[in-house]
Chain A
Amino acid sequence: MDTTIAIRPVRLKPRLPALLEGWGPALVFLAPALVMLCLFKLWLIAEAVYTSTGTFDPGGQRIGNAGLDNFGFALSDSRFQWGLWLSLFAAVAKVPVQLALGLAAALMLRANTGGNAVVRAMVISPMFFGLPVTTFIFAYMFDANVGAVNAILSGIGLPRVAWLSTEAPAQMLVLGLSIWRDVGVTMLVFLAGLSAIPPQIANAAKLDGAGPFALFFTITLPLLARSFQFAVVLATLASFQILVPVLMLTKGGPTGATDLASFQIYETAFSYFDLGTASAMSLALLFGLIVIIALELRWLAVKWTYE
């Protein structure tokens, strides 16, 4: 027996499959995040896929397989198509406006003075109130009867607007709320980008003959490319999260003007209890979102680095 041990190569631990190399000690630390990730992100997607292929009774019990019928049903439904267009429209309307405003605010407030710090704090302040409370504020400001906006309009001789029951104003209200809330984030992204530009580079450009416009378009803007990319993705993501004011104020109306895909998903699941279709719609919208973000990341890819 002793001799066999002596000739055998010493192997203290059994070899792990190569795939799991190094996971042992890491797993202990990763465990909490990993469990939650698996349960509420990965399983979530799996659950969505599974539910989307089923039919359900109103009590939520699965009563049959639907294959891809739910997708077919949702995507051929003209109301859902309209909802998807609205969601896309929200992104297309929100992203450029928010970026322009955020960039303008960042450029205006980039110098580190006390006054600027105060104004910056004010621009980001809506973030601290939380989405529900900011929605209350907008509901009040744009209230048809007691709202300050209508009071001002009529005060300067313009007609009062029924904000929540007219189509374009309702859309503007929902988008405006979202932009108002999020401009601060975009501004912060651009402020960080601006402060990362080495002052020497701007100085070099000035000596090389760049005036304010040339400096902005040939140096500042290109050097903000990374911030741009980040801000665009963040704003796009946020444009898919404007369900709260819709749910709280417009309920998809008037006449479908704010009937966003996400609102329809909510209704389908929790008012009509059509779980299969709701899941299929969720996946379709999620897919659309990811495609848009992938395209943006591609178009806005940055090919240079500082040093």
Chain B
Amino acid sequence: MKRPLRFMLRLVLAALFVAPILLALAASFRDNSDMYRYAGSLSLWTFLPAEPGIDAYRRAFTLPLLQTQLFNTVLLGFVMATGTTVSSLLAGYALSRFRFRGRQALFLLMLFTLFIPVDVILPPLFFVVRDLGLIDSFWGLALPFIFSPIGVYLIRQAIEEVPRELDHAASLDGAGLWEVLRTAILPNIRGALIACWLMHFVFVWEWYLWPLTAMRSDDGQLAQVAIASLIDPLRSTDYALVFAAAILTILPAFVVFAILQRFLTSSQATTGGK
């Protein structure tokens, strides 16, 4: 293939994925009348704000509960990330290092739960959480997903790669089960732990169905679910407000990701060479 053609292909590919995102970003800086005025005919102002302004952001800040809801999302992110990472770490350690009957079967059973998507099993999940009396509560949102098959898989895999000699050396030096985990294994799987944490943290921004179902009160709701109710496909939607609010919502995820991503790549660089 010729060079210019290759370059063009990559450009098209990149545009395909980035253009919609940029379009949304641009929309958050315009106002609605502006959007409608230029929508009819194709011009630069169909895509970009003719008179960029931050009015939409100002209005987003005055949305009655957005800040509480954003706090809910972020808090849930921290709780989910930490909860899944800790439970996965402990389970991964047991599944990798302990010999007990049915270990392989248990691991497979855990992985198998990956094939139970929330979309499909939403009503029964609702009933279980209702029976536990957790509907409309923060823990009702969080608890069902604290067990994560992907997290267990990821961390078990990382622990498998830590040489067993390290455990043996530590236990000969007098370390108990917990010390072995803490001193021999933890330092060697930092990359996987951060990856697991980050993945589950970001994953909360993915949530929609479960909070929509299990959280009926507005001040306990997650930001992205609340914003979704601003969209009405049948009537005109205030997209500027939607995107301003949405961008405020995903900002914390980006900040956390940007901070931790450094550790991710550096730890992969040190352990990545096998």
Residues of A within 8 A of B (CB): 18-23, 25-26, 29-34, 36-37, 39-41, 43-45, 47-48, 51, 60, 105, 108-109, 115-116, 118-119, 122-123, 125-126, 128-133, 135-141, 143, 145-148, 150-152, 154-156, 164, 180, 184, 237, 240-244, 247-250, 262, 265-266, 268-270, 275, 278-279, 282, 285-286, 289-290, 293
Whether the Cβ atoms of A155 and B42 lie closer than 8 Å is yes
Choose from A125, A139, A146, A156 the contact partner of B35 (Cβ within 8 Å): A146
Whether the Cβ atoms of B27 and A140 lie closer than 8 Å is yes
Rounded to whole angstroms, the CA-CA distance of A23 and B95 in the bound complex is 11
Whether the Cβ atoms of A279 and B123 lie closer than 8 Å is yes
Choose from A32, A150, A268, A289 the contact partner of B91 (Cβ within 8 Å): A32
Which residues 15-73 in B have Cβ within 8 Å of A in the complex? Answer: 16-18, 20-21, 23-24, 27, 35-36, 39-42, 46-47
Return 28 A-B CB contacts under 8 Å, by A number: A25-B98, A29-B90, A32-B86, A33-B152, A36-B146, A37-B147, A39-B143, A40-B145, A47-B128, A48-B123, A51-B124, A105-B13, A116-B10, A126-B17, A128-B253, A132-B225, A137-B23, A138-B20, A140-B237, A151-B46, A237-B115, A247-B209, A262-B122, A268-B123, A279-B124, A282-B122, A286-B116, A289-B120
Choose from B13, B152, B250 the contact partner of A108 (Cβ within 8 Å): B13
Asked if B119 is at the interface of the complex by the 8 Å CB criterion, the answer is: yes
Contact A132:B91 (CB < 8 A) given known A47-B127, A265-B122: no
Q: How far is the CB of B224 from chain A (nearest CB, A)?
A: 4
Rounded to whole angstroms, the CA-CA distance of A265 and B208 in the bound complex is 16
Interface string of B200-228 (1 = CB under 8 A from A): 00100111110011000000000011011
Please indicate the chain B residues that have their CB under 8 angstroms from the CB of A132 in the complex.
205-208, 224-225, 227-228, 246
Rounded to whole angstroms, the CA-CA distance of A32 and B88 in the bound complex is 9
Interface string of B174-218 (1 = CB under 8 A from A): 000100000000000000000000000010011111001100000
Contact A108:B209 (CB < 8 A) given known A125-B17, A141-B20, A279-B124: no
Choose from B46, B119, B250 the contact partner of A129 (Cβ within 8 Å): B250
Rounded to whole angstroms, the CA-CA distance of A164 and B20 in the bound complex is 18
Rounded to whole angstroms, the CA-CA distance of A8 and B87 in the bound complex is 43
Whether the Cβ atoms of A44 and B110 lie closer than 8 Å is no
Write the chain B residue with the least CB distance to A19. Answer: B101
Rounded to whole angstroms, the CA-CA distance of A115 and B3 in the bound complex is 13
Query: What 6 A-B pairs are tightest by C-beta distance, nearest first?
Result: A155-B42, A22-B100, A36-B147, A130-B205, A269-B123, A48-B124
Rounded to whole angstroms, the CA-CA distance of A240 and B17 in the bound complex is 23
Whether the Cβ atoms of A136 and B243 lie closer than 8 Å is yes
Asked if B14 is at the interface of the complex by the 8 Å CB criterion, the answer is: yes
- The listed residue with most B CB atoms (<10 A of its CB), out of A26, A122, A126, is A26
Choose from B95, B118, B228 the contact partner of A136 (Cβ within 8 Å): B228
Whether the Cβ atoms of B253 and A237 lie closer than 8 Å is no
Q: How far is the CB of A87 from chain B (nearest CB, A)?
A: 9
Rounded to whole angstroms, the CA-CA distance of A141 and B124 in the bound complex is 35
Whether the Cβ atoms of A139 and B237 lie closer than 8 Å is yes
Write the chain B residue with the least CB distance to A141. Answer: B20
Please indicate the chain B residues that have their CB under 8 angstroms from the CB of A126 in the complex.
17, 21
Which residues 107-125 in B have Cβ within 8 Å of A in the complex? Answer: 109-110, 113-125
Choose from B109, B143, B243 the contact partner of A140 (Cβ within 8 Å): B243
Contact A30:B124 (CB < 8 A) given known A133-B246, A143-B239, A240-B119: no
Asked if B78 is at the interface of the complex by the 8 Å CB criterion, the answer is: no
Q: How far is the CB of B199 from chain A (nearest CB, A)?
A: 10
Rounded to whole angstroms, the CA-CA distance of A39 and B207 in the bound complex is 20
Whether the Cβ atoms of A237 and B114 lie closer than 8 Å is yes
Please indicate the chain B residues that have their CB under 8 angstroms from the CB of A244 in the complex.
208-209
Whether the Cβ atoms of B100 and A21 lie closer than 8 Å is yes
Contact A30:B94 (CB < 8 A) given known A19-B101, A108-B13, A132-B227: yes
Write the chain B residue with the least CB distance to A135. Answer: B228
Known: A25-B98, A32-B86, A151-B41. 6 other contacts (CB 8 A): A19-B102, A119-B13, A136-B227, A143-B237, A244-B209, A278-B123
Please indicate the chain B residues that have their CB under 8 angstroms from the CB of A268 in the complex.
123
Whether the Cβ atoms of B20 and A137 lie closer than 8 Å is yes
Whether the Cβ atoms of B147 and A40 lie closer than 8 Å is yes
Asked if B9 is at the interface of the complex by the 8 Å CB criterion, the answer is: yes
Q: How far is the CB of B116 from chain A (nearest CB, A)?
A: 7
Whether the Cβ atoms of A145 and B120 lie closer than 8 Å is no
Write the chain B residue with the least CB distance to A35. Answer: B147
Rounded to whole angstroms, the CA-CA distance of A248 and B18 in the bound complex is 23
Asked if B166 is at the interface of the complex by the 8 Å CB criterion, the answer is: no
Please indicate the chain B residues that have their CB under 8 angstroms from the CB of A128 in the complex.
202, 250, 253-254, 257
Whether the Cβ atoms of B257 and A41 lie closer than 8 Å is no
Contact A33:B98 (CB < 8 A) given known A40-B147, A48-B121: no
Please indicate the chain B residues that have their CB under 8 angstroms from the CB of A108 in the complex.
6, 9-10, 13
Rounded to whole angstroms, the CA-CA distance of A32 and B18 in the bound complex is 40
Choose from B14, B16, B39 the contact partner of A151 (Cβ within 8 Å): B39
Whether the Cβ atoms of B10 and A115 lie closer than 8 Å is yes
Contact A26:B100 (CB < 8 A) given known A36-B147, A44-B128, A282-B123: yes
Asked if B233 is at the interface of the complex by the 8 Å CB criterion, the answer is: yes
